[in-house]
Amino acid sequence: MFEQKFNDNWKFWVDKDSFALVWNIPDIASDVTLPHDAMIEKPAHAESENGGNTGYRDGDIYTYVNLFQAPAEYKDKVVMLKFEGVYMNAFVYVNGQLAGKNPFGYTTFYVALNDYLRFGEENEIRVQVRNGAMTNSRWYSGGGIYRDVYLLVSGLVHIVPEGVQIKTESADREYAVLHINTELQNNCHGASELTLETVVRDAKGHVVSSEVTPVVLFSQETRTVSQRVTVEAPELWSEDHPALYTCTTRLLNQGGVLDESKEQFGIRTLQLDAKRGLRVNGKTVKLRGACIHHDSGLLGTATYEPVQFREIRKLKEAGFNAVRMSHHPMAPAMLRACDALGMYVMDETFDMWNRCKSNYDYGLYFQEWWESDVTAMVRKDYNHPSVILYSVGNEIPEIGTDHGAKICSDLSGKIKELDDTRYTLASINGVFAAGDQVDRIVSDVVSDLSREGKIDGNVNDFMTLMDGHLDEIVVHEAITERLEKACAGVDIAGYNYMTARYEIDGEKYPNRVIVGSETYPPEIARNWNLVEKHNHVIGDFTWTGWDYIGEAGVGVPAYQWGEGGFGAGFPCQLAYPGDLDITGYRRPASYFREVVFGLRKDPYIAVQDPNRYGQKLIKTPWVISDTVSSWTWRGCEGQPAIVEVYSPGTETELLVNGKSCGRKTAGKKAGFRTLFETIYEPGTVTAVSYDENGNELGRMELHTAAEEYRIVMAAEPEMKEDFFYIDVLLKDSTGNLVTDRDIRLSLHVEGCAVAAGFGSGNPKPSYNFNEGVTETFHGRAQIILMRTGSGEINVQVSSEDGKHAKLNLMPE
């Protein structure tokens, strides 16, 4: 099908009158270009009905209108719209008539237009998005048409959208055998004699295989035509070598080309068993995984391809080789980024089945819609080599019940029916699945721990018990019973926060393959040791790789109730457990993980806040500590400070201004995290890592920044396609980052760009990301520019104390 983006020339407004008798475009309507996140445009506020779930941002009822000229020749063609994602409850009207709807906010769906269009005239496409029922999400969902929209046009005889599916049947260094299925449709009132031509090209455009098949397609028939082709000396797709091919499929008759489809794909094989783990192209792979949500930081959920590429690139640079899209299907733009950059993907269906987790979430629609939404996800993913796993649900409470186990099997079975090349799992939280067994579990665990003298026998609060004794809880036989049912219908057991089960379940169930589908960041050293040790444990997915809006405060360290953690209140808007903050800046946990993965030789220094020395840190299980990688702590001179050193090797040494604080055990024996207590003195702090023979492996230094600072702007060199990411930094004269002060900044942009976002990684921002004002956080802020033309761009940032910086950009 001819396909073009349908993102321009939309009118948008917040609809306050659902029973409006006049179907018009009000004066308040604004011009928007898709993708568009309507929710991010309005500031967060403490009274939001969504609360911390969405970072104190409200949903609403949004209306989008596009006036579309349908040429007269479209009367004899197939015309449809493709929506890659609308959150949520989308109703699509054509000339006032309902043409299609979709309740799920993350599914690609198609709307056929032919029966509603006035050919040769102007037509109104109206999309109403009913996102005003709160709460409907546990995280920041965004709102509106936040992914791309496409117009599709073809003849009456055509290739069905997403109808070309390319499967690698076998592959080695000499040959790859591809099985290519093409779904054809004939809407004519007579048979059509056709030729199906398929050509496979490598990345350089060279033809590496082709096939031609005659087809007679009868009136009103839809048929799938299979072709098998061979590719010599194939380049196999993997994380290390993300080689891509293009399959061009053409449908012809005697008059020429009727339709054409181009699909990018990779050639690779997957195998899985409990003895050799997960293998890609015959090679065992351990998944260094990051769970991620779908928002794009300061941009909200608006899904732009260059932004998706940036996120995947930065995650890969930080040491990850896999991502889990939590907890819904991934955007096509991010899938393309994962294909191109070499990132394995666990795509996930739903966060709920028949039991709602929010008042008005997808649980209201699951029973009637799950099959079509699962189908949409698999058809979208089929040709993406990055996708290797499908999760059928996240932390589903009813999954361990008899009917829940059947639903799990049904979901997995539907996926297998559509795609038998990938593996399925459910991301299971054993505690959630315990359900009516919680009281029994608490009683038994408290009794056992009390008898061993490990706990006060009066403890009966489940959350209190979980805080320090999750390992004892998750191995309880009641959870074991639920897991047996839940895991029966899938290929892999996805364990959320159940590390304590890895070894014992490997012995009890010798054919069970396990993945840590969601894990606590502080436990990465323990988790990864088990991943490396056991073949049946294929990887670890931390919560989370990238920070996100919503679930406010879950990863924010606190010293008073309400500052962070589960009790965080407004103005906390971000979750803050990410290895990378929402601007893409790597936090200390990221370097800790890189050392654990064995990907970093140099140690890394992070300093716990000396201002809080001796105070009890209130933290959730997602918090390691309150560290900042800085040796600038004005006002703390002469006070105790705790320095964390993440180090490989066997020993690490800390020096303050050249004076050694001694050597301590490092590496695996220390959990790759060594703590030194010292006295803060301005100057230089140095960490050195040593191997078992005392040889230096690497070192790192931090220097105290001078009090006088300047504003420095630096554009990321990789961003050249429509977007520019600019770091705004507070630095002293020698280039040290000034981390111990936050200043208010104002932004001014002139030329061929607009500011799409201005903010920082602060989980408690004082300004909305579209206000043109922000405050630095640990000396950093970020500008995101969206290009509007090909000319010059001038950017200026000013502080309240009269400092300013300018940057001139000349886009290519």
Q: Which two tokens stand for residue 579?
A: 């290895």
Cα separation of 19 and 311, whole Å?
A: 42
Cα separation of 153 and 259, whole Å?
A: 10
Say which CATH architecture domain 2-154 belongs to: Sandwich (2.60)
Cα separation of 81 and 7, whole Å?
A: 11
Superfamily designation of domain 284-432+487-544+588-593: Glycosidases (3.20.20.80)
Cα separation of 421 and 527, whole Å?
A: 28
b/e map of 388-415 (b: 16 or more CB within 10 Å)?
A: bbbbbbbbbbbbbbeebbebbbebbebb
Is the pLDDT at 459 greater than 60, yes or no? no
User: The pTM is what?
Assistant: 0.96
Is the pLDDT at 453 greater than 80, yes or no? no
pLDDT at residue number 465 = 64
- Where do you find CATH 2.60.40.10 in the chain? 157-268, 601-703, 710-809
Cα separation of 226 and 232, whole Å?
A: 20
pLDDT 10s digits, 223-274: 999 999 999 999 999 999 999 999 999 999 998 999 999 999 999 999 999 9
Please report which confidence band the pLDDT of residue 442 belongs to, taking 50, 70 and 90 as the band edges: confident
pLDDT at residue number 358 = 96
Q: Does domain 157-268 have CATH number 2.60.40.10?
A: yes
Q: Is 264 exposed, middle or buried (0-12, 13-18, 19+ CB in 10 A)?
A: middle
Q: What percent of the chain lies above the pLDDT cut of 70?
A: 98
Is the pLDDT at 701 greater than 70, yes or no? yes
Cα separation of 277 and 556, whole Å?
A: 35
pLDDT 10s digits, 333-371: 999 999 999 999 999 999 999 999 999 999 999 999 999
Q: Can you spell out the DSSP letters for 365-403?
A: THHHHHHHHHHHHHHHHTT-TTEEEEEEEES-TTTTSHH
Question: What are φ and ψ of residue 123, in 5° steps?
Answer: -125, 150
pLDDT 10s digits, 723-775: 999 999 999 999 999 999 899 999 999 999 999 999 999 999 999 999 999 99
pLDDT at residue number 658 = 97
- Where do you find CATH 3.20.20.80 in the chain? 284-432+487-544+588-593
Cα separation of 499 and 518, whole Å?
A: 10
CB-based contacts of 275, cutoff 8 Å, min separation 6: 535, 536
- Where do you find CATH 2.60.120.260 in the chain? 2-154
pLDDT at residue number 405 = 96
Is the pLDDT at 397 greater than 60, yes or no? yes
Closest by CA to 651, choosing from 693, 705, 691, 699, is 691
Is the pLDDT at 35 greater than 60, yes or no? yes
pLDDT at residue number 555 = 96
pLDDT 10s digits, 227-237: 999 999 999 99
Lowest-confidence segment of 9-18, 436-445, 510-519 by average pLDDT: 436-445
Cα separation of 521 and 555, whole Å?
A: 10
Is the pLDDT at 458 greater than 60, yes or no? no
CATH class of the domain comprising 710-809: mainly beta
Displacement of CA 285 from its chain's centroid (Å): 21
Closest by CA to 294, choosing from 569, 544, 564, is 544
Q: Give me the helices (H) in 82-220, please.
A: none
pLDDT at residue number 462 = 60
When pLDDT is averaged across residues 369-391 and rounded to a whole number, the result is: 98
Write the CATH number of the domain with boundaries 601-703.
Answer: 2.60.40.10
Cα separation of 764 and 659, whole Å?
A: 38
CB-based contacts of 88, cutoff 8 Å, min separation 6: 103, 104, 105, 129, 130, 131, 136, 141, 143, 362
Mean confidence (pLDDT) of the chain: 95
Strand, helix or coil at 184? strand
Spatial contact of 512 and 498, defined as CB atoms under 8 Å apart = no
Strand, helix or coil at 246? strand
